[in-house]
């Protein structure tokens, strides 16, 4: 509406009234707007009004020579008539032969004044004038569609398909999808079409996906798959199952389950007839598997990799890499994931496929963040940022914004983190990416724990997810309850989930985060029963950052949680060692929030231990933690440390 009204308040009000009228949706323009513009057109001579109607066929902007040609009049006559329209402020000229309707609604009304016969004739003349100009294929396709009849649909279809291909090559995926959609409408009218409906649907789906409209892309894939199944065509079903890429969180995104089911159908229809497609479908089967349901991702990803290596087909190789990346998500495989990321980057450079490059950089971002290598992390983020700008794909922009939000959060720029996460959510929701809501919740709930802002709202949202999610989500809910000050409820949630922590699949992205969440809840609530097991699970990864994916951010260093558990278990020396390691990691990674949390925990341990010099060091650490908490707006930590430093609590007054 904003585009159509162009700031005119009268037009805006009239169009708003139209949206409130259920019967109004079938009208092109409200009567009031149409009459107002018609009165403006009444102020010019009939020949000028006629040329404006003819110009409207060409669009908002037009060339005087082309208007003269389709109206079969001299260019000089056309220019004279358009001068009158300029004087009446109906069109704007550039001083030469290019003109533009002063308002888009003026063009709409002028076009509506033409009879159907006139429109057909003028569009046909325009198409003939454009001819074989490949630079104007988009315009040619439009005009041929407007004048197509049962005897001349094929030229319109051919031009539309060329326009779609051109838009796709220019990375204008949204427009390419539009052109493919137009081609679908023409296809049934052609006796011998150049491609099948399912092929056209899949071309459209690929463009829809790369334009960020995941829901539309999946709808097109399903329609193509239905046609393929009806014809017993396993290849079409396989292609439909592998259009959508990178959707991996089966417990948070219902689309994963649907793609997974389609993969199984495709494998049954394919048999052993097409090893390339079989490799890709097996990879997609592993990528979309629900690890909590025991879907055998390792078996599928290994088979996909073997087949891809045998066929040496580029896309099959990449999808097999993606499947292995998903399978090797456990922190013990971080170096393998880093190597896979490097292989994907190399494959992208060798083939010129930006998609492979982008995923390779994302996987390396994940790995370098987990390994705590800040300089390499920044280099990869910079490369990915440039690549996303070149690719112009909304899903890439969504992921980048989430990574930027999480980096801002790690740096203590909480307001910027919220804004970036909210911007990412809008991008994801606009395209129907259901996983975007879950990722947004992960980040916003952590921000609530760090700052105290929105703690109750986050607890409610996490509880709703936990009620229908995997069992380990109750551990997440427990830490949100603690942040909301509801410790008794948190203890009950912890009691329900703690005995099952060992059952979390090792290839679940949350394997590490689930344990550190339990560790945090145990330390806060003084629950020792599960602590030894969690401590032993975390110890091999003492030098890591907790990262389930860069777009979900970090929960800080593993060493921080080891320090808290060691203190809970009475291992004061180990606690200090772990916390000093955590402090080093926070400084290297540039994370003031987790530095403050670590210093506060270190101060608490030293206050408890009370060895020689411990109290003075504790006061210094707590004081620094308090300063950081105040500067960043970490209200929960500020309150906690202030109480530790208060008179009678072992703080400044008693030291």
Domain assignment of residue 59, yes or no? no
For residues 225 and 243, what is the distance between their CA atoms, to the nearest angstrom? 11
Rounded to 10 degrees, the C-alpha dihedral 38/44/47/51 comes to: -60
Q: Are 303 and 282 in contact (CB under 8 A)?
A: yes
How many C-beta atoms lie closer than 10 Å to residue 650's C-beta? 21
Which of 634, 607, 610, 632 has its CA nearest to residue 621? 607
pLDDT at 2: 54
CA angle 68, 69, 72 (to 5 degrees): 80
Q: Are 283 and 258 in contact (CB under 8 A)?
A: no
With tokens 């558990």, the residue in question is 565
Which of 480, 30, 509 has its CA nearest to residue 252? 509
- CATH number of the domain residue 424 falls in: 1.25.40.10
Structure tokens at 225: 């798959």
Structure tokens at 11: 């037009």
pLDDT at 295: 59
Structure tokens at 399: 């992921």
Domain assignment of residue 303, yes or no? no
Whole-angstrom Cα Rg for the chain: 31
CA angle 651, 654, 655 (to 5 degrees): 75
Kindly report the backbone phi and psi dihedral angles of residue 439, in degrees, each rounded to the nearest multiple of 5, phi listed first.
-60, -40
Q: How does residue 648 score in pLDDT terms, banded at 50, 70 and 90?
A: low
Q: Are 247 and 256 in contact (CB under 8 A)?
A: yes
- Mean residue pLDDT across the chain: 91
Q: Average pLDDT, stretch 630-641?
A: 98
Domain assignment of residue 608, yes or no? yes
Q: How does residue 88 score in pLDDT terms, banded at 50, 70 and 90?
A: very high
Domain assignment of residue 241, yes or no? no
How many C-beta atoms lie closer than 10 Å to residue 431's C-beta? 20
Q: Average pLDDT, stretch 373-397?
A: 96
Q: How does residue 135 score in pLDDT terms, banded at 50, 70 and 90?
A: confident
For residues 33 and 422, what is the distance between their CA atoms, to the nearest angstrom? 37
Domain assignment of residue 465, yes or no? yes
Domain assignment of residue 243, yes or no? no
CA angle 298, 303, 305 (to 5 degrees): 95
Domain assignment of residue 626, yes or no? yes
Cα dist from 83 to 37, 68, 114, 512, whole Å: 19, 14, 22, 72
Bridge partners (DSSP) listed for residue 43: none
Query: Is residue 5's pLDDT more than 60?
Result: no
Q: Average pLDDT, stretch 536-548?
A: 97
Count of domains for the chain: 1
Query: Is residue 28's pLDDT more than 80?
Result: no
* Domain ranges, residue 594: 394-645
CA angle 132, 136, 141 (to 5 degrees): 80
Query: Is residue 10's pLDDT more than 60?
Result: no
Q: Average pLDDT, stretch 152-177?
A: 95
Q: Average pLDDT, stretch 338-350?
A: 97
CA 624 from chain center: how many Å?
A: 38
- pLDDT tens, 486-511? 999 999 999 999 888 888 888 888 89
Domain assignment of residue 162, yes or no? no
Q: Average pLDDT, stretch 406-424?
A: 98
Q: Are 301 and 281 in contact (CB under 8 A)?
A: no
Overall residue count recorded for the chain in this entry: 655
């Amino acid at each position: 509406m904003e585009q159509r009204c162009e700031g005119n308040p009268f037009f805006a009000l009239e169009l708003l009234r139209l949206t409130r009228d259920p019967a109004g949706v079938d009208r092109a323009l409200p009567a009031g707007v149409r009459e107002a513009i018609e009165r403006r057109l009444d102020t010019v001579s009939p020949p000028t009004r006629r040329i404006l109607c003819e110009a409207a066929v060409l669009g908002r902007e037009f060339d005087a020579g082309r208007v003269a040609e389709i109206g079969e009049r001299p260019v000089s006559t056309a220019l004279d008539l358009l001068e009158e329209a300029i004087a009446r402020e109906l069109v704007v000229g550039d001083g030469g032969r290019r003109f533009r309707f002063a308002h888009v609604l003026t063009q709409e009304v002028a076009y509506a004044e033409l009879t159907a016969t006139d429109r057909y004739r003028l569009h046909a003349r325009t198409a003939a004038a454009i001819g074989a100009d490949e630079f104007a294929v988009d315009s040619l396709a439009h005009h041929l569609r407007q004048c197509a009849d049962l005897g001349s649909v094929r030229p319109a279809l051919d031009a539309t398909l060329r326009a779609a291909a051109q838009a796709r090559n220019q990375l204008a995926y949204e427009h390419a999808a539009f052109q493919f959609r137009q081609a679908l409408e023409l296809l049934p009218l052609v006796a011998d079409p150049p491609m099948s409906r399912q092929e056209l649907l899949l071309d459209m789906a690929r463009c829809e996906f790369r334009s960020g409209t995941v829901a539309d892309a999946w709808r097109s894939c399903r329609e193509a798959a239905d046609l393929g199944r009806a014809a017993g065509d396993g290849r079409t079903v396989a292609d439909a199952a592998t259009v959508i890429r990178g959707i991996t969180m089966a417990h948070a995104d219902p689309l994963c389950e649907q793609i997974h089911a389609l993969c199984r159908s495709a494998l049954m229809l394919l048999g052993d007839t097409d090893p390339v497609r079989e490799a890709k479908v097996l990879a997609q089967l592993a990528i979309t598997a629900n690890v909590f349901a025991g879907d055998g991702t390792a078996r599928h990803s290994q088979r996909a990799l073997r087949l891809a290596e045998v066929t040496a087909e580029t896309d099959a190789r990449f999808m097999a890499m993606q499947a292995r990346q998903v399978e090797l998500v456990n922190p013990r495989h971080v170096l393998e994931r880093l190597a896979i990321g490097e292989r994907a980057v190399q494959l992208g450079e060798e083939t010129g496929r930006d998609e492979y490059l982008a995923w390779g950089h994302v996987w390396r971002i994940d790995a370098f963040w987990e390994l705590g290598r800040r300089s390499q992390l920044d280099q990869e983020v910079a490369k990915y940022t440039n690549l996303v700008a070149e690719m112009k794909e909304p899903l890439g922009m969504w992921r980048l914004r989430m990574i930027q939000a999480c980096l801002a959060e790690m740096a203590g720029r909480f307001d910027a983190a919220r804004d970036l996460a909210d911007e990412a959510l809008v991008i994801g929701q606009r395209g129907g990416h259901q996983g975007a809501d879950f990722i947004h919740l992960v980040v916003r709930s952590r921000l609530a724990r760090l700052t105290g802002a929105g703690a109750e709202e986050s607890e409610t949202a996490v509880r709703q997810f936990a009620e229908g999610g995997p069992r380990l989500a109750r551990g997440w809910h427990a830490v949100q309850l603690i942040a909301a000050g509801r410790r008794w409820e948190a203890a009950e949630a912890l009691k329900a989930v703690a005995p099952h922590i060992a059952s979390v699949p090792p290839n679940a992205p949350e394997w590490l985060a689930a344990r550190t969440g339990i560790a945090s809840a145990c330390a806060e609530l003084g629950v020792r029963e599960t602590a030894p097991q969690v401590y032993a699970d975390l110890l091999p990864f003492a030098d890591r950052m907790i990262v389930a994916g860069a777009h979900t951010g970090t929960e800080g260093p593993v060493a921080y949680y080891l320090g808290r558990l060691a203190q809970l278990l009475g291992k004061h020396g180990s606690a200090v060692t772990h916390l000093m390691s955590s402090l080093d990691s926070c400084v290297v990674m540039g994370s003031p929030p987790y530095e403050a949390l670590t210093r506060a925990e270190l101060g608490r341990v030293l206050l408890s231990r009370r060895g020689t010099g411990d109290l003075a060091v504790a006061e210094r650490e707590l004081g620094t933690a308090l300063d950081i908490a105040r500067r960043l707006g970490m209200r929960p930590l500020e309150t906690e440390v202030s109480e530790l430093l208060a008179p009678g609590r072992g703080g400044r007054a008693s030291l």
